[in-house]
Amino acid sequence: MLSFLKKDVMVLIRDRTELLVLLLMPIILTVILGFALKGMFAGGFSSFDMKVAVVDHNDRQAGIEQFTEEVKQLSVPEEAKDRLIEAAESSEPSALMMNMLEGDELGQVLETEKVNENKAIEALENGKVTALLKIPENFTYLSLKKMLLDEGKSAELEMVEGKDSSLMAGIFYDTVERFVRTFNFETAIAQAADGTDVTRKSSEGNQEDLGGVITVTDQEPISSIEYYSIGMAVMFAMFVASTIASKAYVENYQNVFARILLSGKHPLLFLSGKAISTTVLVFIQLVLLFGMGRLVLQAFADNSWRFWLGMLVIGAVFSLCIGGLGALLTAITVKSESNVVPGIFAGGIVTVLAMLGGSFFPVSGMPALFTTLGNWTPNGIMLNMTLQWAQGLGMSYILPLIFRLLLLTVVLIAVSLLIFSKRRAA
């Protein structure tokens, strides 16, 4: 297998024109697009337009009254009861959360609309809203009881994300999660202090005491240079697949494949060799492009080693997927004994995939069909996954996209094996 890999690498190195296109052209296009379209990314992604449907099954007033009645039955001094009741009225969690979501800071990029559950689900399915936030029954009562009396079970918020808005929904989820985490932290500190002082900060009505300035993540917004560093890298990775398939046609034409069979090697070694060669070459290409982007263009300059380690994992999975794509193109090329398929793929299909996947411009403002198709292209998945990772979203957001890439890899390899087996039978 190493001999096949060495052969493909040496063939590509000898073709200096092809090598320069694969390595130098992405940097050139990144610089051109990054500076030419810088206005689109002014202020990063702060121009996000998110709309969230809120289904509120909770009755705040009833919850406060129920909690108040229980407090009155406690065997504690009247002064303590008064402070608990005051805490319940001034620090009701759902009210504080809605005030944050509808405040001046988030109000510029987030629109909330309270609707019934059926209408919310319909809007979510039609792509009219980014996500659905459900506040369950007795949320106020259960939250206050757990928060101030440390009794009962915790109340839970439920969020459902739109199928075509994974990035936007992830941002909203992260924002709500940060509010909940900060609120619980403040509550724990207050309980450790004197049990009821959680109200003192909340009753002053200053949201900054609870969560600070709410931002999308702790990371700086993505710049145009960083966006196109990713977009061009994932687009030119697909050219590697077509290049390997073209080389396979030349080898087949020059009877290299026939000589491999005569040497007693299994025919599938030829196909698997192309898949592995594509995978390795794409991974090397990504490392070089991101490395040059970091050193030359100062892209992702402030990110930690954890970010770059995650990028290596993401790049490896993406390389496997493009390896499967290379195997498919190779199988079709060898079966048809023609170089037309790699030419069509490199000359037109890559451009279409790049447009659907967002390599040229963000597709969030495009029709839903574009977004749906882009979410199932290898470059679209990779771009979406890398942007989420660069914005500091956790692995829980990345894993579904990794599994989607792996699923796509399995499908591509299975189809290529099927085509290549039919070629052998013919």
CATH of the domain at 99: 3.40.1710
What pLDDT does residue 258 have? 63
Residues 26 and 110 grouped into a single domain: no
Is 216 a domain residue? Answer: no
What pLDDT does residue 69 have? 87
Angle between helices 267-296 and 16-36 (to 10 degrees): 40
Residues 82 and 28 grouped into a single domain: no
Round to whole Å and give the CA distance between 218 and 183. Answer: 18
Mode of pairing for the β-strands spanning 158-161 and 131-135: antiparallel
Task: State the total domains in the chain.
Answer: 2
Residues 36 and 161 grouped into a single domain: no
Q: Are 18 and 342 in contact (CB under 8 A)?
A: no
Residues 268 and 400 grouped into a single domain: yes
What pLDDT does residue 317 have? 94
Is 419 a domain residue? Answer: yes
Residues 199 and 321 grouped into a single domain: no
Residues 62 and 39 grouped into a single domain: no
Q: Which of 165, 180, 211 is the last residue of a domain?
A: 211
**Residue 202 domain boundaries:** 50-211
Query: What is the sign, positive or negative, of the torsion defined by CA atoms of 367, 369, 371, 373?
Result: negative
Residues 156 and 226 grouped into a single domain: no
Q: Which of 179, 211, 243 is the last residue of a domain?
A: 211
Residues 418 and 301 grouped into a single domain: yes
pTM (two decimals): 0.56
Residues 39 and 54 grouped into a single domain: no
Residues 248 and 369 grouped into a single domain: yes
Each residue's pLDDT tens digit in the chain (426 positions)?
Answer: 566 667 666 766 676 677 677 777 777 777 776 666 555 554 444 445 678 888 888 888 888 888 888 888 888 788 888 888 887 787 788 888 888 888 766 766 778 888 888 888 888 777 788 788 888 888 888 888 877 777 777 778 887 776 655 566 667 777 787 777 777 766 666 655 554 444 444 334 443 333 333 333 445 556 777 788 888 888 888 988 888 888 888 777 766 666 666 666 666 777 888 888 889 888 988 888 888 777 777 777 667 778 888 889 999 999 999 999 999 998 888 888 888 888 888 888 988 888 888 877 777 656 677 778 878 889 889 988 888 887 777 777 788 889 999 999 999 999 998 888 765 444
Q: Which of 173, 191, 211 is the last residue of a domain?
A: 211
Residues 151 and 13 grouped into a single domain: no
Q: Which DSSP letter does residue 351 get?
A: H
- The secondary element (H helix, E strand) that includes residue 74 is none
What pLDDT does residue 154 have? 72
The closest alpha carbon to 299, from 233, 360, 218, belongs to: 233
Is 107 a domain residue? Answer: yes
What pLDDT does residue 38 have? 55
Residues 254 and 231 grouped into a single domain: yes
